[in-house]
Amino acid sequence: MGSQRDVIGQLYAHSHRALRRYVRRLVASRDAADEVVQEAFLRTYQNAERVDTPRAFLFATARNLAASVRRSRHSRRTDALGDLELLGVESSEKCPEERAAADEELRLLQQAVARLPPQCGAVFSLRVFHACSYKEIAERLGIAPKTVENHVARAVRETHEYLRRRIR
């Protein structure tokens, strides 16, 4: 199977441009596409001895890496939610004062979410408290994933603004 690694060289020569175009459509960034393509070829090369169809493995690997890039980029956009972790929503403090403060912060967060329009609040709750993906939320509520994204962005803005006013 030593010739498998030779196949990777031929695969690179014949598929590099097509793979780059494919990945570029998935990640919408030239730099990210180049990184994904490079990593996909590296993984294909590393697994050459175990792979029966290198081209299929290469494209599947690139697709999975591109999905990871999109998820990472998407979570960075909406990860202003990370600030909510500072509120101790899932707190395990031992001190009564800290528990009381965490309970108050949780109460404020619940008030903030209650002020959101119903569908927006439902989307936000599923995302933050139940860790549902945008796709899962869209399927559960029968709405488009883009609508889920818009609701989460709005909920983050409005919740943060409410908390900022109340905590100061």
CA distance 168 to 166: 6
Tokens standing for residue 16: 């590099």
- The pLDDT value recorded for residue 81 is 53
Of 16, 49, 77, the position where a domain reaches its end is 77
Tokens standing for residue 154: 């709005």
CATH of the domain at 117: 1.10.10.10
**Quick count: other Cβ atoms within 10 Å of Cβ 133?**
14
Q: Do the Cβ atoms of 26 and 66 come closer than 8 Å?
A: yes
What would the pLDDT profile of 111-160 be if each residue is shown by its tens digit?
888 899 999 989 988 888 788 899 999 998 999 999 999 999 999 999 88
Q: Do the Cβ atoms of 7 and 57 come closer than 8 Å?
A: no
Q: Is the pLDDT of residue 9 over 50?
A: yes
List the alpha helices (DSSP H) in 1-128: 3-27, 30-46, 54-78, 82-85, 96-114, 118-128
Residue whose C-alpha is closest to residue 38's, from 67, 60, 58: 58
One domain for residues 57 and 108: no
CA distance 125 to 137: 10
- The pLDDT value recorded for residue 109 is 81
What would the pLDDT profile of 17-75 be if each residue is shown by its tens digit?
999 999 999 888 888 999 999 998 888 888 888 877 888 888 888 898 988 888 877 66
Query: Dihedral through CA 23, CA 27, CA 28, CA 29, nearest 10?
Result: -90
Tokens standing for residue 151: 């609701």
One domain for residues 12 and 47: yes
- Mean per-residue pLDDT over the chain, rounded: 81
One domain for residues 16 and 72: yes
- The pLDDT value recorded for residue 143 is 94
What is the domain extent for residue 144? 86-167
What would the pLDDT profile of 85-102 be if each residue is shown by its tens digit?
555 455 444 567 777 777
One domain for residues 103 and 156: yes
Q: CA separation (Å) from 147 to 120, 141, 152?
A: 9, 10, 9
Of 77, 112, 130, the position where a domain reaches its end is 77
CATH of the domain at 39: 1.10.1740.10
